[in-house]
Structure 1
């Protein structure tokens, strides 16, 4: 009887170890694919220590120019990348519970776009916009895709996310593909046009000249809805003032549904690809 029990325990342990190894291999493969995607986002051919000058902001509306001066982009690298880690919670329906996640986000001043890699075990999520092409992938431990979304609606929605999340990488506001128009003393509209794709968003500024919210249109499934991004307290991250938190909200026919909350854990601006 003791031999049988030992054999059962040994078998269960062996199966558990095998499943663990398979899971580790799947996660490693998922992360490896993201590393390859970073090559398309980060331009390794641009190696420059040029700094942002005050005159580089002259074409911007005063509202945006003063904001960028205040948060400290003058003197920062023109051609650079940012890598920051987050913790947060997400849900896809107001009736569902929040799921905790940790994530890493990559953005570049040399290429309009982003990669967001998140983990909410056993699910792995990657959202991206590279060369104006968006894709959302949800994978079970990197072993099997549960969902993989692409197409014009995803392209538009991902680019809209990128525009709003430039609040976390304000050097990107200087991208020549972004044009600006003042609306009033506390708001400005930014427009990205890439080929047949156009995305607009409105940034709202508080009495201190800092952005405290963002609004645009994004697709929720296949329906274009009002999207709001609200930010938290501004803190110094690697020499730049950015919000420590962001909350994403769908405004569905006047009913606000918070579906994403993220907090910055660490943040690094660099011109070294690693």
Structure 2
């Protein structure tokens, strides 16, 4: 796709040289029967230059490439209209180039929004985290203490901020095809909040971008097709707020020292399971963490709203751990499977793998 689009830009640019050559009579151009004045010939040349610059900046992944290309397309269509009889077929590549450029602009605007939101979420994270000792969590249930010991948090800095990267696959229905995705997530652990942004390969050469946000106890979900068309845009209702709170609670397994923060309370269920309750802004959510005999987390279960709409119902939501890995000296579940336990059967909708993890980040974005 990248090379095909670059080729279209370059070829379309080179074709515009014909108008310049025709205007200045550098050669006989039989393909163009209409006369072209020298001032208009300069526009043909300028369009060529802009398309070539746009192609090069696109190949080099410059953020601003689409600005140049959109200007080039406007100039291109102007000169095409002025020589419509000979150049009308140039409209088709202009349409293709414009659609791709507008999608790129949508993606650029989305990334600007994400950057601002990440800075807002991470702005008040601490720069001087304390060192964890066993005394910090000896009031917790025995199995939770065992988990924290097994994770290796003792003697390390308490995690106050996180940046992680994920890859995996997701689907929207039990019989739907799997869609590969990659995502980046930022957490503020001291002031519970996160930003999760993803890029999903929804269809052939068509991607979806999405963002889940949890901040000040409120959630928000945004999904756009081709970076332009809103598919989901829900925020600040009971279902979304509760769901994002549960996400934060379940994902504490990726920053174990966060389990000792005051906003989470623990209750022993049995020797290998404990109930966790996350309270914030007079709201609370709860779920059950299950462990193996070594103290490793094997699953997290909670009743969560199935979807973000206001008419959705609570269903059993389960995060199952498939494997563990050590990041910066901390052992965490890095491969997980997420499943809805529905009446009609299990719906495994998400499989993910953490590929990079940074604790107590210094550079936010």
Calculate the TM-score normalised by the size of structure 2. 0.70
Unaligned runs of 5+ in 1: none
Question: What is the SS of the residue equivalent to 2:126?
Answer: coil
Task: Measure the CA separation in 1 of the matches of 2:282 and 2:335.
Answer: 32
* 1:186-205 paired onto structure 2 within 5 Å: 186-205=272-291
Q: Is the 8 A contact 2:337 2:348 kept in 1?
A: yes
The structure 1 residue matched to 2:132, chosen from 52, 69, 79, is 52
Question: How far apart are 1:143 and its partner, in Å?
Answer: 2.8
Distance 1:49 1:163, change over 3 A: closer
Task: Measure the CA separation in 2 of the matches of 1:49 and 1:170.
Answer: 14
Task: Measure the CA separation in 1 of the matches of 2:335 and 2:138.
Answer: 29
Question: How far apart are 1:135 and its partner, in Å?
Answer: 1.1
Q: Is the 8 A contact 2:125 2:161 kept in 1?
A: no
Residue 125 of structure 1: aligned partner? 210
Unaligned runs of 5+ in 2: 1-29, 33-83, 201-205
Question: What is the SS of the residue equivalent to 2:224?
Answer: strand
Question: How far apart are 1:10 and its partner, in Å?
Answer: 4.5
User: Aligned pair 1:145/2:235, yes or no?
Assistant: no
User: Aligned pair 1:68/2:154, yes or no?
Assistant: no
Considering fraction of residues, name the structure with more helix.
Answer: 2
Residue 245 of structure 1: aligned partner? 335
Q: Is the 8 A contact 1:42 1:110 kept in 2?
A: no
Question: What is the SS of the residue equivalent to 1:191?
Answer: strand
Q: Which aligned segments of 4 or more residues in structure 1 are displaced greater than 6 angstroms? A: none
User: Aligned pair 1:260/2:346, yes or no?
Assistant: no
By relative contact order (CA 8 Å, sep 6+), the higher-ranking structure is: 1
RMSD over aligned CA atoms reads 2.2
Q: Is the 8 A contact 1:78 1:109 kept in 2?
A: no
Per-residue CA distance 1:197-231 (angstroms, 9 max, x = gap)? 21011000012210010100100131011111101
Greater mean alpha carbon deviation, residues 200-209 or residues 249-258: 249-258
Question: How far apart are 1:176 and its partner, in Å?
Answer: 1.0
Task: Measure the CA separation in 1 of the matches of 2:352 and 2:217.
Answer: 24
Task: Measure the CA separation in 1 of the matches of 2:138 and 2:248.
Answer: 23
Task: Measure the CA separation in 1 of the matches of 2:324 and 2:225.
Answer: 35
Task: Measure the CA separation in 1 of the matches of 2:91 and 2:360.
Answer: 49
Aligned residue-pair number:
274
Task: Measure the CA separation in 1 of the matches of 2:105 and 2:216.
Answer: 29
Greater mean alpha carbon deviation, residues 233-242 or residues 143-152: 143-152
* 1:65-214 paired onto structure 2 within 5 Å: 65-120=145-200, 121-150=206-235, 151-214=237-300
Calculate the TM-score normalised by the size of structure 1. 0.92
